[in-house]
Chains A and B, each alone.
Chain A
Amino acid sequence: MYVGQSLPRPEDFRFLTGRGNFVDDIKPPDCVYLAFLRSPHAHAKIVRIDAKPALACSGVLRIVTAEDWTKAGLGKLVCVHPMPFTDGRPMREVLRPVLASGEVHHVGDVVAAVVAETRYQALDALEAIDVEYEPLPAAVKTGTALDNDAPIVHKQFGTNQINEIMRGDKTATAAAFAKATHTVGMTLTSNRVAGSPLEPRSYVADYSPPTDQCTLWATTQVPHMLRRWICRYALFIPEHKLRVISPDVGGGFGQKVNFCVEISTVVWMARELKRPVKWTSTRMDALLSDTQARDHVSKAEMAFDNDGKILGLKVDTIAALGAYLSNFAPSIPGNSYPQTITGLYQTPALDLRVRCVYTNTVPIDAYRGSGRPEATWVNERLLENGAREIGIDVVEMRKRNLIQRSQFPYKTPVGRTYDSGNPPLLLEKLVALAKYQELRAEQKRLRAKGVLMGIGIAAFLDKSGTGPSKQLSTRGGLHGGFESATVRVHSDGKVTLYSGSHSHGQGHSITFAAIAADRLGVPVEDVAVMQGDTDTVPYGNGTWGSRSASVGGSAIYRASEKIMVKATRLAAHLLEADVAEIVYENGLFSVRGKNPSISFAEVADAAYHGARYPDDPGFEPGLEVTIFYDPPDLNDPEAMHLAVVEVDRGTGRVKLKQYFTIDDMGTIINPMIVEGQVQGGLAQGVGQAMMEHVIYDDEGQLLSATFMDYAMPRASDMPALKSDYICTPAPSNPLGVKGGSETGTIGPPAAIGNAIVDALWHLGVRRIELPFTPHSVWQALRVAGAGE
């Protein structure tokens, strides 16, 4: 059995020796370079663009603006995952122009593009383009975007409100609060972050006039969807005329799943100039244009009875989506967030309102965790503050409120039914792993010495395996949730898998190979995996939403099953027996109880020979299956985190001393890879918790435009970590697998925030603002009158 083993990754060799093939490594002969002119204003009218001086610059081949794009009759970027108002009205959608037209709506908005012989020449020419702007008032802060006097981002709507999503039962919740003995209320802000995969986005488009064929090498997580969007929405060209290749991609986390503005221009210019065109984002481009994430302001309350049992949860959230709707954006606060807001608790009544808003900032979209960190931050901060105020230990508080194993499948007040889980076991294991009682004893000892140690927990649900296509389409989704898989057995019995998902570090190759190798009974070294080429891989929906194992892997599994049905039939024929008598073991087909056997490789050989076939109607040569697997349901990973911190009262610096995680991801295919995903996610969660913050000033100027100001964790910022796992298989896929790559990002803001409040509770601190920078903690101490 390969599934369950920590098999090493074959792709490591090329990465370790510097022989990866990343898009910026690609440099076709005769390649020219593109640079984008970006708006310096958060909101302004474009009065005039004069590109003439720039056109005269050395090496410049073309300069384009919105006017050229419109003249060419080209299209606009479409939000493919809309979220209408709960009352049925469509959301207020403005289609995003590829080049800003009439107005710019955020600092970094693309105003013009220059193509020149060299990158330096393109950058030089940018400076010669003269743009006259008329600045307009900008709506920057999320919390005030719906105020009466807020500047309007898109004036045609007369409001910044995009939609309104209501979930739960207002009346029942009001009643719950009315009878509650305790309530806790807070305003909670989830900080805006920038995913910042280390490889900047890069695109190379090459157009061949004789074949009218364009090839686009793209840093994308979704090659087929990208091809579709460019062809269908932007350039109006047939899909078979555009080949998208996503080679090695240096991290994605959601930032490379987007229909980003720049891509269409690169392809367009290649077709116009009939030369390869290349654009690679600088880091500053990335911070001004890659989609950002989170950015919620929530007023929330939780009601409890005297025993600390949750009676109701009331949440009113304003979620920023930025200046334009990016392709998945509305579904993050509109769907993922509501579905996980009650987490792992039996919450009898919920009153949730989410209003998405436009602001004059970089568009928001999916980023690892997508809605769940925001949900967990609200749910868990309320719960722990409630526990402390009532006087119940935070572990005990969870014991009293967790959904029990026997209650699964569990219908939540939001409408979603959680598939499987065992939250009490998660808690039990967490308490054991962290040696919770000893930690509390140590906390007491240290407090006597004036050392501020804190312990905080986050219990939460992830939501993964997106998803049944029907479900997506009920929300108006313009894309499916299936995944493609081709299992091609070669005539020598070796295998190539083609998967519509795409690895940008998650180790799909060995994971999918293990699944197929087990099902086909072949050595895993004999299985190769191909991804990321729309010419060779059947249409897939790509990698995001922790779907590759449960959807992509299941597709591989189902296709492998079909291969085995055919191979068994052919083996039976070759062994002159009935299918029912055939036994397959250790790569050999034999007749039960008899000697002669035939190997998988020999069956493959026969399949491609075409000579000896059964007479079954429709039985064809070859041994290859392609399927499109649509999952019947999402799946629900669950996890719990415990953070131990020490707060330096004099400076506000928080030291992360220890961190514990218990995950339930159902069946684990490759423990080594899954652990890497938990750890990597944790770094990003720690990042959001401790230091990452995209900051705009009141005029909408981005103050965190380089890594000098946008902090990300280094090795020395990470806490000592212990992790463990339980398994409640996902009932909805043949592997029992749940998503495993996002839980790391979900827990830290709540777990660490709770730990800090725990450390400082006796000093009067009740709230802490994300991120927990020394300044933020010092402020919290000051507000509580406990600063030194």
Chain B
Amino acid sequence: MTKVIINLTVNGKALIAEVEPRWPLAEFLRDHLRLTGTHVGCDSSQCGACTVHVDGIAVRSCTLFAVQADGCDVKTIEGVSSGNALHPMQKAFHENHALQCGFCTPGIIMSALDLVRREGYELSEETIRYNLEGNICRCTGYYNIVKAIAAGARAMRAGAVT
């Protein structure tokens, strides 16, 4: 089994790496790039804690191999805020107490941003709940997450942010 060289951009930084094909992108991000904000919560591609953006689209990084990210633009939770300022979606989560243990939070935020990309800034409760099917939270009961996503989306429009 041969290792493969991949060229990709992660959070705006171009890099080259040598990877085993079997490494999931999540493992590459966490163990090799030490971007540990992306979490692994299950082994059946269901919990969504590992959600990242690849070429602007939210995917489960546990179900994508690092080799598949060759030539791609990867964005993780660490790339969402700039400097010390929180992204409006992150701020909305904080203001609405939409996180408790914080483990599912990066994945949910990445999914939320993807939802805004697909459905826009005015999100109904029903739309948000339906689009959270791929993210499991065991702590919050989802009520505040739904509130936060609605508020975060509106704040993104106000700030013209993606």
Contact = CB atoms under 8 A, between A and B. Distances in A.
* 6 A-B pairs closest in CB distance: A18-B37, A15-B102, A250-B103, A505-B101, A679-B141, A505-B100
Interface stretch (B43-51, B66-74, B116-124, B154-162): B43-51
Contacts of B57: none
B126 to A, nearest CB: 8
Given A251-B138, A679-B143, A680-B139, A197 B128 contact: no
Contacts of A681: 141
A13 B136 contact: no
15 contacts: A8-B95, A16-B81, A16-B99, A17-B80, A18-B77, A197-B103, A249-B101, A250-B101, A284-B43, A679-B143, A683-B141, A684-B138, A714-B129, A714-B133, A718-B143
A522 interface: no
Contacts of A708: 44, 46
A8 B94 contact: yes
Nearest to A744: B141
Interface in A670-711: 672-673, 675-676, 678-684, 706-708
Contacts of B151: none
A43 interface: no
A251 B140 contact: no
A682 B140 CA distance: 9
A248 B140 contact: no
A228 interface: no
B97 A715 contact: no
A15 B98 CA distance: 11
A198 B90 CA distance: 20
Interface string B75-114: 0111011000010001001110101111111100100000
Contacts of B97: 6, 8-9, 672-673, 675-676
B101 A197 contact: yes
B19 interface: no
Contacts of B42: 283, 706-707
A680 B140 contact: yes
B90 A20 contact: no
Given A199-B41, A505-B100, A715-B132, A679 B140 contact: yes
Contacts, number: 177
Contacts of A24: 30, 36, 39-40
Contacts of A721: 143
B86 A715 contact: no
A506 B100 contact: yes
A738 to B, nearest CB: 20
B65 interface: no
B99 A15 contact: yes
A11 interface: yes
A761 B3 CA distance: 65
Contacts of B101: 15, 197-199, 248-251, 504-505
B35 interface: yes
B43 A20 contact: no
Contact of B100 (A120, A507, A682): A507
Nearest to B95: A8
A683 to B, nearest CB: 4
A86 interface: no
Interface string A460-502: 0000000000000000000000000000000000000000000
B106 A18 contact: yes
A613 interface: no
A22 B103 contact: yes
A505 B109 CA distance: 17
A282 interface: yes
Interface string A240-277: 00000000111101000000000000000000000000
A196 B138 CA distance: 8
B102 A680 contact: no
Nearest to A687: B138
Given A22-B36, A253-B138, A676-B144, A199 B94 contact: no
Contacts of B137: 198, 683, 715
A287 B6 CA distance: 36
Contact of A251 (B22, B128, B139, B144): B139
Contacts of B139: 198, 251, 505, 676, 680
A19 interface: yes
A248 B99 CA distance: 13
B38 interface: yes
Interface in A178-198: 196-198
Given A199-B39, A200-B41, A676-B97, A714 B136 contact: yes
B35 to A, nearest CB: 7
Contacts of A8: 94-95, 97
Interface in A1-47: 6, 8-9, 11-20, 22, 24-25, 27
Interface string A387-420: 0000000000000000000000000000000000
A706 B138 CA distance: 16
A25 B103 CA distance: 12
Contacts of B39: 22, 24, 198-199, 250
Contacts of B38: 18
A707 B44 contact: yes
B58 interface: no
Contacts of A306: none
Nearest to B89: A16
A716 B78 contact: no
B3 to A, nearest CB: 13
B100 A676 contact: yes
Nearest to A675: B97
Nearest to B110: A18
B103 to A, nearest CB: 3
A712 interface: yes
B150 interface: no
Contacts of B35: 18
Contacts of A199: 39, 41, 101, 103
A672 B86 CA distance: 21
A594 to B, nearest CB: 44
A504 B136 CA distance: 17
Nearest to B104: A198
Contact of B41 (A25, A198, A507, A718): A198
Given A12-B99, A18-B38, A24-B40, 6 more contacts: A15-B105, A17-B90, A18-B36, A250-B39, A706-B44, A715-B129
Contact of B94 (A13, A27, A196, A673): A13
B100 A680 contact: yes
A752 to B, nearest CB: 15
B100 A16 contact: no
A676 B80 contact: no
Contact of B86 (A17, A507, A679, A712): A17
B144 A679 contact: yes
A197 B80 contact: no
Given A250-B103, A251-B138, A282-B43, A16 B93 contact: yes
Nearest to B22: A120
